[in-house]
């Protein structure tokens, strides 16, 4: 479907970059990531399903494949899932990078963010 294609085109580059530079961090903390993604995703699925069921808003069937989870179209479920994946992984990688920068500081001075390859080295050291 067009909607699913747009979701993939929007989310795939972000998730790929997160995994290229910090996949080992995400994998190491996969239990935290799983809970961090699952809880808000299920909440948003339920909330959106209720809103669609009550006709608060609707989606054009022109852009949908057809399968649904209750009243929630498959594409909407995927949208909430990949959005939460990007947010949780991005937050985790930001926090772990900041922690590594603090750990690698010298004499209380932070290393420069502009150091060539610093972020990559920090994530790889984690």
pLDDT top residue among 94 and 69: 94
Q: What is the mean pLDDT of the chain?
A: 86
pTM above 0.85, yes or no: no
pLDDT top residue among 110 and 25: 25
Pairing type for strands 72-73 and 68-69 reads: antiparallel
Share of the chain above pLDDT 90, in %: 59
**Concatenated DSSP letters for 11-52?**
HHHHHHHHHHHHHHHHHHTHHHHHHHHHHHHHHHHHHHHHHH
CB-neighbour burial class of residue 101 (10 A; exposed 0-12, middle 13-18, buried 19+): middle
The answer, yes or no, to whether residue 109 has pLDDT greater than 60, is no
Per residue in 50-66, pLDDT tens?
Answer: 999 999 998 888 878 88
pLDDT band at 12 (very low <50, low <70, confident <90, very high): very high
Give the domain range for residue 118: 2-125
Average pLDDT over every residue of 14-41: 96
Domain count, the chain: 1
Average pLDDT over every residue of 89-96: 94
pLDDT score of 52: 92
């Amino acid at each position: 479907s067009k909607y699913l294609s747009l979701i993939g085109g929007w989310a795939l580059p972000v998730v790929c970059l997160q995994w290229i530079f910090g996949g080992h961090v995400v994998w190491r903390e996969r239990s935290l990531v799983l809970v961090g993604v699952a809880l808000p995703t299920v909440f948003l699925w339920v909330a959106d399903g209720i809103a669609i069921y009550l006709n608060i808003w609707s989606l054009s069937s022109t852009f949908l494949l057809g399968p649904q989870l209750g009243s929630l179209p498959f594409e909407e479920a995927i949208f909430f899932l990949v959005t939460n994946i990007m947010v949780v992984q991005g937050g985790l990688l930001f926090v772990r990078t900041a922690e590594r920068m603090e750990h690698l500081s010298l004499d209380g001075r932070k290393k420069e963010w502009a150091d060539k390859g610093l972020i990559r080295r920090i994530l790889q050291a984690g």
